[in-house]
């Protein structure tokens, strides 16, 4: 018997051999060049909370959105790493049924937001001992971002991490 996939998947995050239900990404339109600067751009996807494959899907979703918006390669790679760390934490440390990933770009920064249904407290960056295999993810996020914050919600936690866009990228938006 074939398992039924969750209700929402981003079609760009498909893994070969998997049947995933399509979801239309939520993106804001770009502005007309004669009207003025582009409004913020945003794309959201909801993935299964207990599936380790959600980490790979989140990376693909993030990279494809940022490349579509013509964000520079260095920024794309940093946000790919950040979303990987944040989604891994949500999968490993919470009992969430779903995890929502939002990728956003404004005129000055790019960000990823991961919202889970975990009620295990606010995540805190810590210093891992050299012999430990785990415990460096949030310290890495802290080191790579312009800002990051964790917000407790009534039914989970939202973690947002942002990096400033290089001048040439910000000026092109």
pTM for the predicted model, two decimal places: 0.69
Please say whether the structural domain 41-127+135-172 has been given the CATH code 3.30.390.30: no
3-state SS, residue 145: coil
Instruction: In whole angstroms, give the CA distance from residue 89 to residue 10.
Output: 20
Please work out, in degrees rounded to the nearest 5, the angle formed at the alpha carbon of residue 134 by the alpha carbons of 128 and 135: 45
Instruction: In whole angstroms, give the CA distance from residue 152 to residue 9.
Output: 25
Where along the chain do its domains lie? 41-127+135-172
H or E element: which one contains 167?
helix 167-172
Please list the pLDDT of the chain residue by residue as tens digits (173 residues).
444 444 343 334 444 443 434 344 444 444 434 434 556 799 999 998 888 899 999 999 999 999 999 999 999 999 999 999 999 988 888 888 999 999 999 999 999 999 998 766 555 544 545 555 555 566 778 888 899 988 888 888 899 999 999 876 655 65
């Amino acid at each position: 018997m074939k398992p039924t996939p969750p209700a929402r998947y981003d079609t760009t995050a498909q893994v070969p051999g998997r049947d995933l239900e399509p979801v239309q990404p939520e993106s804001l339109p770009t502005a007309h060049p004669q009207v003025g600067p582009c409004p913020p751009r945003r794309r959201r996807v909801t993935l299964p909370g207990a599936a380790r494959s959600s980490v790979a899907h989140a990376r693909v979703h993030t990279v494809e959105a940022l490349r579509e918006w013509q964000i520079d390669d260095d920024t794309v790679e940093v946000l790919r790493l950040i979303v990987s760390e944040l989604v891994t934490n949500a999968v490993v440390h919470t009992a969430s049924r779903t995890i929502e990933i939002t990728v956003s770009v404004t005129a000055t920064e790019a960000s990823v937001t991961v919202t889970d249904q975990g009620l295990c407290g606010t995540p805190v960056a810590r210093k891992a001992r050299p012999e430990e295999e785990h415990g460096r993810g949030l310290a890495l996020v802290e080191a790579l971002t312009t800002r990051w914050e964790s917000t407790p919600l009534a039914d989970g936690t939202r973690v947002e991490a942002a990096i400033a866009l290089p001048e040439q990228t910000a000026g092109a938006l």
